[in-house]
Amino acid sequence: MDNSDRLAASAEDIGKLLDRLTAHAAMRLNSLQWRPTGRDGVVPRGESAETIAQSAFLKLLNGAKWDAEKALSTVLMGIVDSQIANLVRSWENKRFQNLKTTSIDEEPEINQITDEGLNPIELTERAEDDDIALKILDALEVDSSEYRVASAIFDGNLKRSDIMSAAALSASEYEATKKRLRTFLKKFWQNQAANQHKESATRP
């Protein structure tokens, strides 16, 4: 039985699964917005949550690996995640190449590796990310539940129970905080993108 036979025979409600898969892809793409967006952003033009979900289905129909014990939803989610990871990887490679080309005259030792195993370009990127992370923490109201959650994550807490305990939140507060943080991050990135756009427009 090949993948198309298994898909045709699958008991899962395909319509609902498509909604869930597309929503997941949309959230994954949203979660990448701390990286540059727009023309040279992580998500290329023409690529969207719908095209990613469609391409995952097509890949499965064309014979992508489908572990017999895994449900259709799990397999499709895995394909979507790997497609998005590939977008990030390809953006990073492209960005690294661009930076290398533009910096080569100014920085002859661009390939030099630091003690941390990073080259100067990677160090610059890391500094930029550090700067954005600090801006996020600064923008949150100290002692608000959003700030406490962000601090808990900053301190390395990743599991739900660890975050709840570190941020002193109940289950319902945890979910509500998550939604507020999501809205906050969306606005923050929108402002960030607008500022970047302004800066590049005023550059001679």
Say if residues 41 and 98 touch (Cβ distance below 8 Å): no
**Start-to-end Cα distance in the chain:** 61
43 versus 136: smaller Cβ distance to other proteins: 136
Report H helices in 62-170.
Answer: 72-103, 120-139, 145-154, 160-166
Q: Which stretch binds other proteins (CB under 8 A): 98-106, 107-115, 125-133, 190-198?
A: 125-133
The C-alpha atoms of residue 55 and residue 62 are separated, in whole angstroms, by 10
Nearer to other proteins, 64 or 153 (CB): 153
With tokens 């790997």, the residue in question is 82
The interface with other proteins within residues 12-71 (CB under 8 A) comprises 14-16, 18-24, 26-28, 30-34, 48-50, 53-54, 57-58, 61
How many CB atoms are located within 10 Å of the residue 15 CB? Answer: 8
Taking the least distance from each CB to other proteins, the nearer of 107 and 125 is 125
The token pair that represents 162 in the structure block: 């660890």
Among residues 38, 98, 101, 154, which is the contact residue for other proteins, using CB under 8 A?
154
Binding site for other proteins (CB under 8 A): 4-5, 7-9, 14-16, 18-24, 26-28, 30-34, 48-50, 53-54, 57-58, 61, 73-74, 77, 125-126, 128-134, 136, 149-150, 153-156, 158, 163, 178, 181-182, 185
